[in-house]
Amino acid sequence: MGWLPPDFDCSQYDYRKVRGYFPDINKEEVRELYLHKAMKLIDCGVNVIWIDMLHMQLLHFYRMSQDIDHPAIGQTLESISKLVEEIHEYGFSKGKYVYVGSWAPLIRNDKDILIPPFAPPAYDYIVVSPSSKEVLFKKLYEEEWERAFSMIREYMDEDIVILMRLDLGYKNSPAHVFSQKLSPEEQKEFLRYLDSFLRKNNVLFSYPVFGLYMGPWEKGEEKILSWEDICWETLTGEKGCGFSFYDSLAPEFQTYETIAELAENRTQGKPLVSIERPSNYLYILDKEIFPLKMPVIIGKITVTADAFDEDGISKVEFHIDNEFKTVDDFPPYEWLWNEFAIGKHEIKVFAYDDKGNKAEDKIDVVIFNLRGR
């Protein structure tokens, strides 16, 4: 599991004293425990149930057998299905539909994404997370994710709700990296990028409005705490603290306004628009030379925007310093800016969907273009 050393004497193992373990979902008493917890939540008014780490048992069986067809994987999926059905049935007995979800029951090896050749559980939604490396570099492996989304829908159901969140609860988790290793501006940039990519792929984004264990492992090294740590001692004598709880208003997360804006855009059905070019590079006569902290342009530049909306984009307008320049009705949305301009200017684009909703993006640039003088 990674929580016990390889040479640990298993005769000394006591699940009541370890920091964590994965119960066997194939055991009836374990499913009953899960069910009783779900029943209690439903009795308290809960309409959505999240069951964490059920997919880990599939992963461990695959790692041990290296066989995606192994019957233990099939048995595990069958056991999970029984649990999901029982939770649904209890919800019906209370006069409501209870939505049940967990991680996507897919298996990743070093080279591919694998689908078990067994019937999937009847989840109402499944959850995925970017890797810590993707968060650190603020860029998803887009082609791999698009393929994964397609495989999930083919395996589960075309209308399955897919939700992406930043996984948390361990050192260097995606949420930990987001909190501790990205600047506020990088956080906002990454949130906008994720929101745009996921909307285009019909995936919901669970915005990082809270989380646990955001700081480093050693107590006292966190930047700022919002609440106290949870500390523990394991069977092997390991001691630790670090389950520090945060929300989006904590200083590490200076992103609440961005999250509120993105959520509002989704609610109101506003289109997505972003200036793709120029970005933070030096451009000479419309050629990208090398990266800088902000766009610097010498001569002409092709301004390019990316726009998307579920209802379709009707047009994209280009403005310089709030002065209208041109409009483009068809992708790729672009305009060649080639007129006299010296110093700092603001490029702004507006995208309109077929229902008249509007969104904008803007960027400051430094330009030196003597054309026209």
DSSP 93-147: HTTS--EEEEE---EE-SS-EE--SSPPP--SEEEE---HHHHHTT---HHHHHH
Q: Band of the pLDDT at 1, cuts 50, 70, 90? A: very low
* Domains in the chain with CATH codes: 10-207 (3.20.20), 272-369 (2.60.40.10)
E strand or H helix at 276, and its extent? strand 272-277
pLDDT computed for residue 31 by the predictor = 93
pLDDT computed for residue 24 by the predictor = 87
Choose between 361 and 22: higher pLDDT: 361
Mean pLDDT of 113-126: 94
Tokens 């409501």 correspond to what residue?
A: 96
Query: Given a cut of 90, is residue 328 above it in pLDDT?
Result: yes
E strand or H helix at 346, and its extent? strand 341-353
pLDDT computed for residue 307 by the predictor = 93
Mean pLDDT of 225-254: 60
Euclidean distance between CA atoms 68 and 74, whole angstroms = 9
Choose between 211 and 160: higher pLDDT: 160
In degrees and rounded to multiples of 5, residue 173 shows phi and psi of -65, 165
List, in order, residues 6 or more apart from 307 with CB less than 8 Å away: 271, 272, 273, 274, 313, 316, 331, 333, 351, 359
Mean pLDDT of 190-219: 81
pTM of the complete model: 0.80
Q: Where are the alpha helices (DSSP H) in the chain?
A: 28-43, 54-65, 71-93, 132-136, 142-155, 174-181, 184-200, 256-268
Tens of pLDDT, residue by residue over 360-371, are: 999 999 999 998
pLDDT computed for residue 22 by the predictor = 72
Euclidean distance between CA atoms 234 and 179, whole angstroms = 27
Residue pair 22/1 in contact by the 8 Å Cβ criterion: yes
Tens of pLDDT, residue by residue over 64-93, are: 899 999 999 999 999 999 999 999 999 999
Tens of pLDDT, residue by residue over 95-114, are: 999 999 999 988 887 778 89
Mean pLDDT of 125-144: 95
Euclidean distance between CA atoms 176 and 166, whole angstroms = 9
Hey, what are 310's tokens?
Answer: 């579920």
